[in-house]
Amino acid sequence: MKHCPYCKTDYAMSETECPSCNAVVANIKCDNCTTIHNGAFCPNCGFGIHEVLRDCPKCGYKTKERVCPRCGHDIAAMDSFKTIAKSVVSQVSCEVVGHAWNGTCKCTRCGETRDINHTYFLIDGKCEQKCSVCGKIKSIPHQWNGDRCSRCGSVKGPADKFWESLGARLPFFHLEKKLNRLFFGIGLLVIILVIIGNIVVAKEANAHEGEIRMPSSASSYVKENYQDVTSKFKNLGFTNIKTEVLDDLVTGWITKDGSVEQVSINGDTSFSSGSYFPKDAEIIITYHTFPERQEPVEQVAEEPQEEAVEQEQQEVESIDLKSVLDSFLGEPYTVAYEELTEAGYDITWLHAVTGDDFTSSVIYQIENPDPVDDVPWLVVDYASLDYHDSELLYNVTEFELLLSRDKALVLFIDTEENMDRIAAAENLEQSLQAKLDINCAWGSVTVYGQKQYPAGFKLLIGKGGLLAETPEDEDTWFLKAYCDVTNAYGTTMKNMTCEALVTGTSENPKVTYFIVY
């Protein structure tokens, strides 16, 4: 505070003269130790003339220190708390009742700014103006005097002259503004690119006149029904379409009857989408189907006993075993057992799905029939047992089944109930696949996981980490796989298990359940 040397009155630093005697000359009285001096700092305690004494809220002692020397209370911490509390109260007040703009660009309560109602003043020597309230700087047009700005001294460059000339011809675009120039340039570039693209497309169309452009690649037709593929090529305009048959199906569980193996156009079996071919190009569609079955012919002859036995042995050796086995497919196992064992074959009975050996169980049922408890097995497939290395030949596609030296056979069996259940599951999977592609479902899980774990989420499907991808119902996939996740602190946890339920369509998949553990 100030101290009058004449009347000894103390008054505030903001006053210009003594309120008692109107004297202009004044000394400084230290607010901390009351020492009279004329400097910026007290020669006794070092307290500055613009410093403020803090009132200790605990004992009331006035001090300049952060900690009260009398009671040890932390005054600075309390001041910081008050400042924070005041800021929080101001922000809450503005959220509840709105900002106190008072016609300016800055709220007088919380300090937030807005981009309207600025109070600009020109900055000397620059073509810029600055808001006196929030400090925002804004460019203003140059004041050209010839090729030089009379305000900032800038000289027109070739670009400025170009835009000025173009703006004079196209005044409605207001090209004197930089933002309008940017939009104008982008629009002009887009127009040029569109014109170039149309020229390229027109030249390409002329170059392939009379030819047909393929909308899909060769691999996209694989596993489709050959009749559907034939219709697609006819609709495209092709006229020379042929089909080739591969009669290699046994059960038709994995590869369906009529499923396309490959498509060839003029000998090209790996054409890509966008390829061009003549309308009369030779198209060969190769597909899978079942071989034609031939019923075994029973021969009965009345001959002497010895000749009959010899003839029977010759017939057994010359019988078309593959046709006979084909005739057993879908029939009860007892029929195959009776005929093959009577012909001298040693049969191994395996479960068609699990591959487990049920030979002893089948023989027990045949030797001890029980209409109530016996499993109603059906023959669904067959193979031969290699005599040399005893390895089962499961793949019988294009395999001519021959008599092995020990006349050993393998028959695969299953129940009609289980086959119906498998077929229903396959139909459900195909129906769901047509509605919601499994790749789209996995993609939505990846996107969802990256949102849940923004620091890192990676599915390990392609590295042996796929655990399940089965239909939960007719609209939902159940997906399960190993994954790696990273938390916000950079710690990565590997080989975690991710489960998810995905519904919707291929165009709009939706994750309804997601968990990582």
Question: Would you state the pLDDT for residue 24?
Answer: 67
Task: Tell whether 322 and 414 lie within a shared domain.
Answer: yes
Please state, in angstroms and rounded to a whole number, the distance separating the CA atoms of residues 167 and 176. 7
Task: Tell whether 241 and 283 lie within a shared domain.
Answer: yes
- The backbone torsions φ and ψ at residue 281, rounded to the nearest 5 degrees and listed phi first, read -65, 145
Residues 165-183, mean pLDDT to the nearest whole number:
76
Question: Would you state the pLDDT for residue 230?
Answer: 92
The domain tally of the chain equals 4
Closest Cα partner for 23 from 8, 40, 42?
8
Residues in the chain: 517
Cα atoms in the 13 Å half-sphere on the side-chain side of 435: 17
Residues 504-514, mean pLDDT to the nearest whole number:
93
- The backbone torsions φ and ψ at residue 328, rounded to the nearest 5 degrees and listed phi first, read -85, -15
**Sequence-ordered list of residues with C-beta below 8 angstroms from that of 37, at least 6 positions apart, any chain:** 27, 28, 30, 43, 44
Q: Which tops the pLDDT comparison, 238 or 32?
A: 238
Tokens coding 382: 């067959």
Pairing verdict, β 346-351 and 408-415: parallel
Q: How confident is residue 171, by pLDDT bands cut at 50, 70 and 90?
A: confident
Q: How do residues 444-473 score in pLDDT, each as one tens digit? A: 999 999 999 999 999 988 767 889 999 999
Core vs surface per residue 47-63: b (16+ CB within 10 A) or e = bebeeeebebeeeebeb
The answer as to whether 11 is a domain residue is yes
The answer as to whether 356 is a domain residue is yes
CB atoms near residue 298 (< 10 Å):
6
Q: How confident is residue 243, by pLDDT bands cut at 50, 70 and 90?
A: very high
Q: How confident is residue 283, by pLDDT bands cut at 50, 70 and 90?
A: very high
CA 398, 403, 404, 409: dihedral to nearest 10 degrees? Answer: 80
Question: Would you state the pLDDT for residue 500?
Answer: 94
Q: Which tops the pLDDT comparison, 304 or 517?
A: 517
The answer as to whether 114 is a domain residue is no
Q: How do residues 356-379 score in pLDDT, each as one tens digit? A: 888 888 888 888 888 888 888 888
Please state, in angstroms and rounded to a whole number, the distance separating the CA atoms of residues 378 and 391. 23
Counts for the chain of helices (H) and strands (E), in that order: 10, 24
Look at 39-53, 174-188, 199-213, 395-409 and tell me which has the smallest mean pLDDT: 395-409
What is the CATH number for 455?
3.10.450
Task: Tell whether 451 and 401 lie within a shared domain.
Answer: no
Domain boundary, last residue among 52, 73, 90: 52
Closest Cα partner for 503 from 415, 411, 441?
441
| 240 close to 204: Cβ distance less than 8 angstroms | no
> What SS3 class is residue 81?
helix
Please state, in angstroms and rounded to a whole number, the distance separating the CA atoms of residues 512 and 359. 46
**Sequence-ordered list of residues with C-beta below 8 angstroms from that of 280, at least 6 positions apart, any chain:** 238, 239, 240
User: What element of type H or E holds 336?
Assistant: helix 333-342
Q: How confident is residue 389, by pLDDT bands cut at 50, 70 and 90?
A: very low
Q: What is the DSSP letter of 298?
A: P
| 101 close to 134: Cβ distance less than 8 angstroms | no
What is the CATH number for 219?
3.30.10.20
Inter-helix orientation angle 333-342/321-328, to 10°? 160
Range of the domain at 461: 436-516
Q: How do residues 42-100 score in pLDDT, each as one tens digit? A: 888 887 776 777 778 778 787 777 788 888 777 766 666 666 666 677 778 788 888 88
| Whole-number average pLDDT of the chain | 81
Question: Would you state the pLDDT for residue 313?
Answer: 54
| 16 close to 38: Cβ distance less than 8 angstroms | no
Question: Would you state the pLDDT for residue 406?
Answer: 55
Q: Give the percent of the chain with pLDDT over 70.
A: 86
Q: How confident is residue 403, by pLDDT bands cut at 50, 70 and 90?
A: very low
Domain boundary, last residue among 15, 33, 52: 52
Task: Tell whether 413 and 443 lie within a shared domain.
Answer: no
